[in-house]
Amino acid sequence: MVGLANALVIVAVVALVLVRQFRARPIDTDRRWWLLPLILGVIALREPGILDAHHRVGSAALLAVELLIGLAMGAGWAWTTHVWTEPDGAVWSKGTKASAAVWVAGIALRMGLFAIGAALGLHQHSSALLLGFAASLLVRAGILTWRASTLGARTPLTTQPLGATSRPAAAYGDGRPAGEERL
């Protein structure tokens, strides 16, 4: 039953993240961007079945690869997200076609990893997938927050004068040359 609950959490969070990713959204550098990944990580680690009791080394290796895929996917996802500064100083982000390609590649790699585990006879718990997804979200949010701060994000604690402009951060696949302003 725990596996079903984890699967439902994964589906709900992925749906929410995908819907939000491809809409233009302001980046709030003051919010706790690490909180959702932390909660997902705690949910994943609370389960004792994250490692196969009969094949600890093999399942630990699969878990390590899952985490590496999650970290790479999060970084790729963040660097392919278009980030720009509006005239009022607010920093916005929106996923690109390259971001969608990162998602597809990440899912394909995870499916391949699951197939390898099944071929080796390893029991794979949904907690490993949840932990990898938490790693993806953590890296993505961290990189986007950092990118927003380098653009001079205007937040309640740090304000910049009106009229101050920042150049948009180019993202791979956003279809614009680096440095082109969005009006």
Cα torsion at 136, 137, 143, 146 (round to 10°)? -160
Residue 47 structural domain: 2-21+32-150
Question: For residues 17 and 164, which has the higher predicted lDDT (pLDDT)?
Answer: 17
| Residue 173 falls inside a structural domain | no
- The answer as to whether 92 is a domain residue is yes
Q: Examine the pLDDT at 165 and tell me if it is beyond 70.
A: no
Report the pLDDT value the prediction gives residue 18, as an integer from 0 to 100: 79
Residue with the bigger pLDDT between 178 and 132: it is: 132
| Confidence (pLDDT) at 158 | 42
Q: Is residue 169 included in any domain, yes or no?
A: no
* 165 belongs to a structural domain: no
The number of folded domains in the chain is 1
Q: Give the pLDDT confidence of 57-83 residue by residue, as tens digits.
A: 988 899 999 999 999 999 999 999 999
The answer to whether residue 171 sits within a structural domain is: no
- Phi and psi at 165, nearest 5°, equal -120, 150
* 159 within domain boundaries: no
Q: Is residue 133 part of a domain?
A: yes
In a domain, 132, yes or no: yes
Contacts of 37 (CB under 8 A, 6+ apart): 134, 135, 137, 138, 141
Rounded CA separation 99/174 (Å): 9
**Tell me, what's the pLDDT at 170?**
59
pLDDT at 66: 94
Distance of CA 78 to the CA centre of its chain: 7
pLDDT digits (tens, 9 = 90+) for 117-164: 999 888 888 888 889 999 999 999 999 999 988 886 554 334 444 444
In tens, the pLDDT along 99-108 reads 999 999 999 9
